[in-house]
Amino acid sequence: MKLKIKLFLSSIFFYSQLFRSVRLWHNFNDKKLTVLTFHRVTNGKLASQGLPTISITMKNFELLIQFIKKHFQVISLHEFLTCVQEESKLPPNCLILSFDDAYKELLPNALPVLKKNQLPAILFVPTAAVDEESTFWWDAVYSFLKNAQPSDFDQKVSNDRVIQPYLERFEKVIAQLPEERDRSIFDLIESLQSLNAEIRERVLDYFQTFYQDSSLRNDTLPGVLKWSELKKFSDSVFEIGSHTVNHQFLSSVSVKDVKNELEHSKDVLEDHLSREISCFSYPGGKYNEKTVQLVGEAGYACAFTSDVGLNSLSGNLYKLKRINISDDNLINSKGLFSKAIAAWFLFLKK
């Protein structure tokens, strides 16, 4: 019902004079920057794997890019920072494309589309995942918990009292009906993200002891780009930024750990890609005033949050806002890309 209401209202907005009026108002009166966040651009069998809230199909991505080209002016991060430094006006309806996590799917599914359309973008990389050429643990946890039966997690007890509460939460999630689990799974994953890396690894190491031998082990989860593949992005339309070492939520760890995540990831990226790394994205969008200060001290020129909204030249460069993009906020009741919903989402819901 909510989707039908959204489609009805967005259609009235898009196919009426109202959309044209809003666009003109943005052109002449609203000199602000829109930043979009993508994670996965999927195609084929992998489309249904991993977290569902961070993916867009390649077809919908291509259609969205065409919509963006028609209604926005895509600029690079360098162009935005130049406007800030020179105190010059932003182009009307300007927009930056950003991608978090460096999923391998971006190489065949996103990079060619951006090259074809000559559009710049930013790719934020968590360096440990690239070093290990691994999949992301949250995709494995989601896949297991979404499909497991109570018998798949029978009497999982650890002598480690720190991680035992998390195992109990695993069990509570699996006790729910599969179609009712998503909210609990998302909450559990966010709780694990908030732990420092050492404790989180203890929980995940225990998870791996039964996941690896489980019939529910998913070997088709999306992987992460290799360093050689990242070089192709670095040499093309993409600017590269840091997303920490361990995809660590910085608001919940010590100052020492924050500094290590910021400085080491920057050093590793610069060593591998032979270019300066000047931008940062907060994993999970989690930050506080201290982390904002430390990002600046680590030598970054700007940082991106997950706070929803637009950005002005006078705003805090270490609290840049973004709009997360997935299929969920672009499709109609038939599962197809909707220009009307895209217009509603990008022009009114920010």
- pLDDT value at residue 336: 87
Q: Which residues pair with 337 in a beta bridge?
A: 331
- Per-residue model confidence as pLDDT tens digits over 86-127: 989 899 889 999 999 999 999 999 999 999 999 999 999 999
Residue 308's identity, in one-letter code, is: V
pTM summary value:
0.90
CA 208 to chain centre: 24
221 touches 104 (CB < 8 A): no
What is the H or E stretch that residue 99 is in? strand 94-100
- Per-residue model confidence as pLDDT tens digits over 166-195: 989 999 999 999 889 999 999 999 999 888
Residue 142's identity, in one-letter code, is: Y
259 touches 294 (CB < 8 A): yes
Q: Which domains does the chain have, with CATH numbers?
A: 2-56+87-97+120-133+222-348 (3.20.20.370), 137-211 (no CATH)
| Pairing verdict, β 121-125 and 94-100 | parallel
Each of the 350 residues of the chain gets a pLDDT tens digit; together they read: 466 666 666 777 666 766 666 666 666 655 789 999 999 999 866 666 788 888 999 999 999 999 999 999 999 999 999 999 998 989 988 999 999 999 999 999 999 999 999 999 999 999 999 998 888 999 999 999 998 888 877 666 777 888 889 989 999 999 999 889 999 999 999 999 888 888 998 999 988 887 877 777 887 888 999 999 999 999 888 999 999 999 999 998 899 999 999 999 999 999 999 999 999 999 999 999 999 999 999 999 999 999 999 999 989 999 999 999 999 888 888 888 988 888 888 877 55
All residues at 6 or more sequence positions from 10 whose CB lies less than 8 Å from its CB, including other chains: 338, 340, 341, 343, 344, 345
Dist. CA 108–CA 118, nearest whole Å: 16
Return the SS3 of 126. Answer: coil
Helix runs in the chain, H state only: 2-14, 17-29, 58-71, 77-86, 106-109, 111-117, 127-132, 137-147, 164-174, 182-194, 197-211, 227-234, 255-273, 289-297, 339-343
What is the H or E stretch that residue 345 is in? none
Rounded to 10°, the helix 197-211/164-174 angle is: 50
